[in-house]
Structure 1
Amino acid sequence: MTLMQKFLGTAGALVLSAGAALAEPAVIYDLGGKFDKSFNESSYMGAQRWADETGEEFAEVELQSDAQREQFLRSFADKGMNPIVMAGFSFATALDIVAPDFPDTKFVIIDGVVDQPNVKSVIFSEQEGSYLVGVMAAMAATGDTVSFVGGMDIPSIHKFACGYAEGFKSVKPDGKVIVNMTGTTPTAWNDPVKGGELTKAQKADGSEVVFAAAGGTGIGVLQTAADEGMLAIGVDSNQNYMQPGTMLTSMVKRVDNVVYDAFTAGTDVEPGLIVLGLGEDGVSAAMDDYNADLVTPEMMAAVEDAKAKIIAGEIVVHDYTTDVSCPAY
């Protein structure tokens, strides 16, 4: 048993690279699990890519409850892990408390903003990538109704839904976008049964295409869409492979690159805020062999046109988090 395993072994479900040593980087996965096939797993893939390329090791831990956030941050910082990357906005409060106590440690928070001199905050323009998949949904649907299943009912998830609705209505202005959130607590990220139930209800209301931005809950959405003869859109990582033949696309966030870049920079991580959108290749609509038969040349042309206009500023996709409203709902 390594030093880190002894130190953290009783703190919850934990996965550590063998032989973890001081001053190595670390990543803390959010609720939903390391292998959620979405946000957390993308974080892991970035860390593992760094390890494969460098031959170095990193520490990692999976949260089991919100109460562990500050505990694990302090645990890794106390043991000299640097930088420490955390996947998820929910770390913001704990990090704002912990960071000042470890001024020589660099922290990187993904999807959250913490104004501390040793913290790098990385957020994405999810609304821009969601606009593109909304355009695709509108062109793929034979009727005028599509839907969205979110995880926890919070502004950052409405950010996806609103961009999706705007993209859809840019093609079908009189169409309907059904928006449902799974719940109001963190358990909403890991409830595939509820995700499936919401998807069935949306189909009954006429939805032909469903976009899931719900962490582990999304697995149930994608499976149910396949079972019910709907098209589905994945999120965060490229989920096209999960249900071949029914996955229209995935709205990819390059969380993996954020973790990889942070580990590569090491203690030279530059604090501050960065925003990654279409222009920075931070978000995209995934195209591959799994969805090639579903994506028409006209669809591709429309996506490329919208992308170019968003990057040029000709289309400004509304950010729900700026005013907690959506003009396309």
Structure 2
Amino acid sequence: MRRFLWVAVLLLLVLPVFGFKVIMVTDTGGLGDKSFNDGTWAGIQRAAEELGIESEFIQSYEQADYIPNLTKAAQEADVVFAVGFMMTDALAKVAPQFPDTYFVGIDIVLDNYPPNVITFVFKEQESAFTVGYIAAAMTKTNIVGFVGGIPIPPVERFRYGFETGVKLYADLHGKNITILRGYTNVFDDPKKGKDLAVSQFAQGADIIFAAAGACGNGVIEAAKEYFTSLAGTSDLAGLIDYYYKTGQAFFAIGVDVDQDYMAPGAVLCSSMKRIDNAAYYGVVWAFEGTFESGLKVLGLKEDGVGLSPMKYTKGLVPNRVLAELEYLSTLVKKGELVIPDTQEALDAFTTPPIEFPF
């Protein structure tokens, strides 16, 4: 009898944990994009491992999949993730039908928030200005490029920030820099990203920032091939040595997560947004019962966006540039330097008088 009671107690303790389930519905880029979807999934996996709960994903292949995929997930899971701006309407339609299921939206803003929905958006412009500043400092041709996916608000905020960072450096240092722009109009075709990158490199760009989901993988591939051809080696040490000797290179800039590892030496840095942390907390809050519906906005101040550690290339960037960037980032966190988040604000932006304290 005592043994039976002990087993019953164990079951009561264990079953609720194993019965808690999270399902992520991807956007059309899917897992393996090494960017947005993978970053969200990493946060979910971290929470699942810590809490001992189940996690699954459902792949979306086209936008028509969003509503049926979210519906299916809600029928099976305690927490459902809707990943990406393009899922906004689907989330708004499905979530109210399942009031006992928690929904977490990434890069989504709703007009009305049911008590079971939380969404996260990011001040992409605040991380993108940092890579724009570095690109402006490092370009030798004075031509840099931007490759976007579909020009939805998060992608455009990356562009606004990138262009602001370029302008800030150019104005503060008396440089004249041209920015090339192009869009793949999809997120899941690396070849389109590579084709645009090749075109921009041919037009004289030596650094390209990609905010294009899996299409950005093609931009990184192009940068690696161009730099390898220039230096005569793909070895990290060889690339770095070539740059030190000649000052010449072809660089890509990664997005969403730290993509520097994808082509060490050819990815100069990455404009990160901590979608992994947002996903992690979305799961934990639901599991612990501390879930509060509404919109969460994360920027530099909240450590929701930032610059990658630049594991392979930080030594290439002059210390003065990094110090200036640190100072400017502090101004952003204090609200004393506002990075534009709309085209109108970007058009109206003028570099304020800035005196570095060093």
TM-score, L = length of structure 1:
0.87
Deviation (angstroms), 1:327: 4.6
Structure 2 counterpart of 1:315, one-letter code: L
Structure 2 unaligned residues grouped into runs of 5+: 1-16, 228-249, 350-358
Tell whether 2:280 aligns with 1:260. yes
Deviation (angstroms), 1:263: 1.1
Relative distance call for 1:103 and 1:54 in structure 2 (3 A) is closer
Tell whether 2:136 aligns with 1:138. yes
8 Å CA contact retained: 2:85, 2:152 = no
Residue equivalent to 1:219: 217
Residue equivalent to 2:82: 86
Q: Which of 237, 241, 264 is equivalent to 1:244?
A: 264
Structure 1 unaligned residues grouped into runs of 5+: 1-19
CA distance in 2, matches of 1:103, 1:52: 26
Deviation (angstroms), 1:233: 0.6
Relative distance call for 1:54 and 1:103 in structure 2 (3 A) is closer
Deviation (angstroms), 1:155: 3.4
Residue equivalent to 2:194: 196
Residue equivalent to 1:100: 96
8 Å CA contact retained: 1:150, 1:212 = yes
Residue equivalent to 1:12: none
8 Å CA contact retained: 1:231, 1:247 = yes
CA distance in 2, matches of 1:116, 1:93: 13
Identity of aligned residues (%): 37
Q: Which of 168, 171, 174 is equivalent to 1:170?
A: 168
Counterparts of residues 1-329 of structure 1 (less than 5 Å): 22-79=19-76, 81-114=77-110, 115-117=112-114, 118-173=116-171, 174-183=176-185, 188-229=186-227, 230-266=250-286, 268=289, 269-320=291-342, 326-327=347-348
8 Å CA contact retained: 1:144, 1:172 = no
Higher helix share: 2
Deviation (angstroms), 1:154: 2.6
Question: Which of these two proteins has the greater Rg computed from alpha carbons?
Answer: 2
Deviation (angstroms), 1:326: 4.4
8 Å CA contact retained: 2:105, 2:119 = yes
TM-score, L = length of structure 2:
0.81
CA distance in 2, matches of 1:30, 1:154: 14
CA distance in 2, matches of 1:21, 1:320: 45
CA distance in 2, matches of 1:255, 1:96: 20
8 Å CA contact retained: 1:27, 1:85 = yes
8 Å CA contact retained: 2:82, 2:91 = no
Deviation (angstroms), 1:285: 0.7
Structure 2 counterpart of 1:218, one-letter code: G
8 Å CA contact retained: 2:18, 2:52 = no
CA distance in 1, matches of 2:216, 2:310: 20
8 Å CA contact retained: 1:161, 1:179 = no
